[in-house]
Structure formats: structure tokens, C-alpha cells
Amino acid sequence: MSSTDTAGQDRQRISLLRVLGPAHVWALGVGIVLVGEFMGWNFSVGKGGAMGSLIACWVIGLLYTCVAMIDSEVTSTVAAAGGQYAQAKHIMGPLMAFNVGLYLVMAYTMLEAADALVVGDLLSSVAGEMGHDALDPRPFVVLTIAALAWLNYRGVLMTLTVNFVITAAAFISIVVLFLGVQPWNPGHMLQHRELLTDLPYGWIGVIAAFQFGIWYYLGIEGTCQAAEEVRSPARSLPYGTMSGIITLLIAATMTWYVATGLLPWEFLGQAATPLYDAARVTGSTALQVFLFIGTTFAAIASANGCINDASRAWFSMGRDRYMPLWFGAVHPRYRTPYRAILFLIPIAVSFSFTGLLDQVITFSILSGLLGYTFMPVNMWMFRRKWPLGSIRRGYVHPFHPLPAIVLLLLCITTYFATFLGYGTQLLAMMCFYIVASLWFTFHRYKYVRRGDQFTMPWSRPRGY
Amino acid sequence: MSGKAYRPPEQGKAGQIFDSIFLLVLVYAVLFAPLVLGLTGGGTITKTVEEPTWEALGQNPTMAAQWEKLGFTPETAAEMITTRFDYTINPWALLLTAAVILGYFIFLIKFSEKEYREVINERFGEKK
Amino acid sequence: MDLWNIFEYAAWGISGLLLLWMLFDAVQVNRDFSEELLTSSREGELEDTTEKHELT
């Protein structure tokens, strides 16, 4: 492109492309989360034992059902890139929106770091089995992040089409493992009778397990990040989210069943790649190869979706001047938030390099959890400021305010669960958001245009 | 939406760079540093077992067989098996954590509300 | 030096290339397009321009 071309374009506007369908939404949602079945969920076994983990899986499943109900109603009405961030901006106000935006960026960036870490770990353990000790995982960590960032840089349609294929392949590998261990023939390979123990910590361990129970589903709410790129958001988003939750419930149950039937809980509670290890124990090379591919694909799909979501949230904040305006740029050819993508690469890489999988995951979980705590409050205000019938909603969830109350109670319990065992990290994370909020309130907000933040064609909120 | 709208100052290049760097520093100082310095992580205690055998570690034959398939011996698995989370609750730490989280959300909601009123007034005009 | 070592170096190399490519492209875009155009996207404005993908 020469500089004469650009002169005439000064009045032009460029924006993200609206090209995605429901399958892409499913791939974005499930693609991010499915890796949670291949790694991370098993730390809940470490915190509360195998049975504790199963209870956590179900209770947190309830938490996410509430999240999906609430989120579908708000998202089908506020369809803008940035998802919950745009919701907070229209319903609760700028400071809350700034924080929600940060939650999204941190939750996804840390998840991306965890994904890359697992790819590196898996490769070094495979190299170890093939007789090469001490393979350096770092080049593979960087390669994973760099390659996916590059893909994201080059365009969203390609990115999510790739994600659809590899997510489906990873899901199939879980099903293959499930069938491969012959669940209809207990005692043959699956040894639940011998391996399952009583609750090692009693009931407090079950509560403590809630922390990593989040990991079975974390990120499913990311579907609404794509709102500006989906062809009919009001229909595609709730549909993609709901089908995603169902997929995850099935996958989580199968994963728990297979892993606890093959691995002693003390091992399972600390493993980096539990499903791959489960396949290793079966003694079948075919299953092992399958799960190697499945784990890698799931991690890549997840990191890919995370880069997509984190950069869109960061971009939206730049566009509103919550962050330096420089980040609000769209690539003129690929139509992607390219500067946001580049900026987040070093953060993901450095957290990956620490190798502390459970702690990187905890940062992600906490950021997610703060976001879920925001949702019930947001929902109450949404119904109060715009009662049913005052604006057009794509979807209205039933039983309000019951889901909001349940969600809030479960969030409080999960903070307590994180306090058990990861208390310092909880405080570090809170410290981060408090300093960032002070910075925003007393420094950053002066650059923000006030009225422009409200972009929805809605009536004036009641009571203002 | 007449002349009363708030006109923010444009932020220059230097300011934008400074703000970006500030955020990076914040991430590294508050989140990354405690991680690499080992201040965070599982509050666990590890019991040492003299002369570990599968029985001494409380593993039944099936469990022992699975450990061995994973490539462990009682010696190498001992630490994994005997590490336990410490769930004793320090009431002051719990109270402090609860206060921090609650205080944070109250601060968020209060300031958001104030800023939100400005946004609405500018977008829809002052309330008559 | 075995196959895995070669993989290590290859991984470093490819990631370096990809990162450089992105940086290079970003610098080029910054030079060729005005900042005003690059930051011209607005929230919620896409509703009307759904099928207009070309930049002409």
C-alpha cells in the first residue's frame, strides 16, 4: 500500500468482520474450555479427593448453569465485542467495566499461559519416555504462543475454523479413551472399587475442591466476546453457549470416571497431564498416541481462543480509552486487533515459563470468579433499570432472581475454597485489581469521553 | 447533549507509552514476583516416611500396581503421597481476606454508580 | 545432539521468525496508515454495515 492510498481513506472507518456462525461460537466456547478436561481439573482431586472432585464438578456445574442463564439474557441484548465488559459499561458503570475488562484479559491470558505450559510439559515427558532426558520445554512454549498469535493476527475466520476442527478432534479423543477402557466391563481396566478412597480431608476438602472445580468449565462465557463478529448474535450466542455447556458436562463426567478408575488419587491430584497419564496406564500405545494428540490439540485450541478473547477485551478497552487509545487499532487488511494481540504475548510467555501450573491456573480461576461475582449484581441492576418490556431482549431467563442468588452464594463459597490452600495468591490477585482500580479512577478516567460510552439504542434507565 | 459535554484531553504518545508500561510493571510486580519468589502456592505439609513401602504409604495392591505402571517406586512416590494441604483456618487471615474482597466490591459499585450518572446525564441530557 | 535437540532449535527459530514477521508487519502498518483510520472502529456500529466487508 502506498501513502497516496491512505490519504483518501482518512474518512473511512474500519471494523472487525462479521463472519462467524453458531459452529464458530461453539468452537470458541468449548475450544477454550475443553482443555480443562485434559489438565487442571485434577487439582481438585488433590484438594478434596476423588469423590470431592466429583461433587465439586456437579456443584460448579450448577454455578455455570446460572452463569449461562444470566449471561444469555444480557448478551442477547448487549451484543458488542468485549462481552461482559460492554455489559458492565451499559449497566453498572465505567469503573466496574474497567475491572470486568481486566478480569477477562487476565483470565484468558493466564489460561493461555497454562495451555502453552502443558504443551511444553507434555513434549518433555514424551521425549523422556523416548529416551531423551531433560528436554527444554521453553522453545515449545514460545512456539505455541507465537504461532497462535500469528494465526490470530491474520484473521478471525481462519482462526476459529481451525479451532472448530481441533476442538472436535480433542473431544473425540476423550470419547475414544472412554470407550477404550471398556466402561461396561468394570474391574477389567477401571478399578474404581480399589482406587476410590474416603474423603481424605472430610467435607472441608470438598469445599476446597470447588476452586479447581471451576476449571471444568472456565471460559465458556467467552462466547460473547465474539458478538461483533457473529452474524446473528441474539440467536447464535445463547445457542452456542448452551450447546457448549452440555458438551462440557458430558466430557467432564467421562473424564472424571476414566481418570479416577485408572490413577491413584494422590498422583491424579498433582499430575500435569492426567488424561494422557491415564492412557499411559492402560498399556495401549494407540490410546496413548490418541491422548497425546488430544491433549496437544485441546491446549492449542484453548490458547487460540484465549488469544482471541483476551485481545478483543483489551482492544475494546483501548477503543473506549480505558486503556491507551493506541490499543484500539484494527489491522486494515486482516481486521484484527493486532496491537492488543502483540502486547499480551510477553505476559503469557513469562507466566508459562514459571512452570507453576496450579498457580497460573489459580490466577485464571480467580479472575473468572471475580467476573461471576459481578454477574448477579449486574443482573439485578439490569432488571431494575430496564424492566421486562422496556427494551427488546433476545432471551429472557426464567426464575429471576433465583439464579442470581444461587450464583452469588456459590461464588462466596468458592472464594473460601481458594482461601484454603491458596490464600496468599488470593490476596495478591485482589491487590492487583485494587491498585488497577485506583489508577483508573484517579488517573485514567479523565481521558474517557463520558456520553460516548453508552452505545446501545436503549431508553434512559429507570431511576436516573 | 449541547456544550455541556465533558471534553477529555487527548493523551500524547509519551503518556500512552507510560500507561502501558505502568500496567506491565503492575502485572509483574504484583502477580509475577510472588510466584517466582515462591511466596504463593499450595499451603501444604509433607510427612516423611522412613523406609517407604507401598503398605507404609497406605497403598493397596491395585494402587501400587498403577503407581508402578506410571514408573514410580515407593521412594519416588513417597513425597507425592504424603504431601497434604493444611486446612487449618487462621481466623484473622480469613477476616482480612473477606474484608478486602467486600471492600473492593463496595468501592467498585460506589464509584461506578457515580461515574454512570455522569454518563447517563451526558447521553440523555440532564434530568428535568 | 539428537532429533529432539534439532526440534528445540527449530522451535526457537520458527517462533523467532513469526514474532519478527508480526512486529515487522505492525511497524509497516503504522507507517502506511494514519492513526485516525486505524483507531476508527466504534462499538455497536456494525449493525448497519453487516455485509460490507471491503475497505474501498
B94 and B84 share one domain: no
Q: Decide if B49 is inside a domain.
A: yes
C26/A3 Cβ within 8 A: no
Q: Decide if B1 is inside a domain.
A: no
Range of the structural domain that residue A257 is part of: 40-419
Q: With contact defined as beta carbons under 8 Å apart, do A123 and A135 qualify?
A: yes
Residue A251 region by backbone torsions, left for phi larger than 0, else alpha for psi between -120 and 50, else beta: alpha
CB environment A369-399: b (16+ within 10 A), e (fewer): bbbbbbbbbbbbbbbebbeeeeeebbbebee
Neighbours of A206 (CB within 10 A): 23
d(C-alpha A188, C-alpha B52), whole Å:
29
Q: Give the ipTM.
A: 0.91
Q: Decide if B2 is inside a domain.
A: no
Q: Is A187 on the interface with B (CB under 8 A)?
A: no
Q: What is the pLDDT of residue C51?
A: 34
Out of A130, A132, A328, whose CB is closest to C39? A328
B50 and B84 share one domain: yes
B79 and B116 share one domain: no
Identify each DSSP E strand in A222-349 by its residue range.
none
Q: What is the pLDDT of residue A9?
A: 38
A146/C41 Cβ within 8 A: no
B81 and B105 share one domain: no
B113/A93 Cβ within 8 A: yes
Q: Decide if B25 is inside a domain.
A: yes
Q: Is A46 on the interface with B (CB under 8 A)?
A: yes
Q: With contact defined as beta carbons under 8 Å apart, do A317 and A225 qualify?
A: no
Q: Is C11 on the interface with A (CB under 8 A)?
A: yes
Task: Report the chain A residue with the minimal C-alpha distance to residue C28.
Answer: A1
Out of A14, A86, A136, whose CB is closest to C41? A14
B27 and B46 share one domain: no
Per-window interface: A 85-144 vs B, CB < 8 A: 88, 92-97, 99
pLDDT-wise least confident of A256-265, A337-346, B18-27, C46-55: C46-55
Q: Decide if A13 is inside a domain.
A: no
Range of the structural domain that residue B26 is part of: 12-41
Chain B residues within 8 A of A363 when measuring between CB atoms: 31
Mean pLDDT of B53-82: 91
CATH of the domain at A186: 1.20.1740.10
B84 and B49 share one domain: yes
Q: What is the pLDDT of residue B42?
A: 61
Task: Return the half-sphere exposure (C-beta side, CA atoms, 13 A cut-off) of residue B38.
Answer: 0
B22 and B46 share one domain: no
Q: What is the pLDDT of residue A7?
A: 35
Q: What's the number of domains chain A is made of?
A: 1
Give residues with Cβ within 8 angstroms of A265, minimum separation 6: A45, A46, A49, A50, A195, A196, A197, A200
Q: What is the pLDDT of residue C44?
A: 60
Q: Decide if A458 is inside a domain.
A: no
Q: Decide if A19 is inside a domain.
A: no
Q: Decide if B4 is inside a domain.
A: no
B71 and B97 share one domain: no
d(C-alpha A136, C-alpha A115), whole Å:
16
Q: Is A239 on the interface with B (CB under 8 A)?
A: no
Q: Is the peptide bond before A387 cis (omega within 30 degrees of 0)?
A: no
pLDDT-wise least confident of A75-84, A167-176, B61-70, B85-94: A75-84
Q: Decide if A445 is inside a domain.
A: no
B120/A454 Cβ within 8 A: yes
Q: What are the CB-based long-range contacts (under 8 Å, 24+) for A120-126?
A: A120/A144, A120/A352, A121/A272, A121/A273, A121/A355, A121/A357, A122/A272, A122/A273, A122/A276, A122/A292, A122/A295, A122/A296, A122/A299, A125/A272, A125/A273, A125/A276, A126/A292
For chain A, which residues score pLDDT lower than 70? 1-12, 81, 227-228
Neighbours of B125 (CB within 10 A): 13
Q: Decide if A8 is inside a domain.
A: no
Out of A14, A86, A130, whose CB is closest to C40? A14
Mean pLDDT of B3-28: 88
What DSSP letter does each residue of A124-165 carry, written as one string?
A: HHHHHHTT--S---HHHHHHHHHHHHHHHHH-HHHHHHHHHH
Q: What's the number of domains chain B is made of?
A: 3
Q: Decide if A26 is inside a domain.
A: no
Q: Decide if B16 is inside a domain.
A: yes
Neighbours of B105 (CB within 10 A): 16
A421/B85 Cβ within 8 A: yes
Out of A425, A433, A450, whose CB is closest to B119? A450
Task: Report the chain A residue with the minimal C-alpha distance to residue B82.
Answer: A266
Q: Decide if B20 is inside a domain.
A: yes
3-state secondary structure of C48: helix
A195/B66 Cβ within 8 A: yes
Task: Report the chain C residue with the minimal C-alpha distance to residue A123.
Answer: C4
Out of A191, A262, A464, whose CB is closest to B117? A464
d(C-alpha C38, C-alpha C34), whole Å:
6
Q: Decide if A454 is inside a domain.
A: no
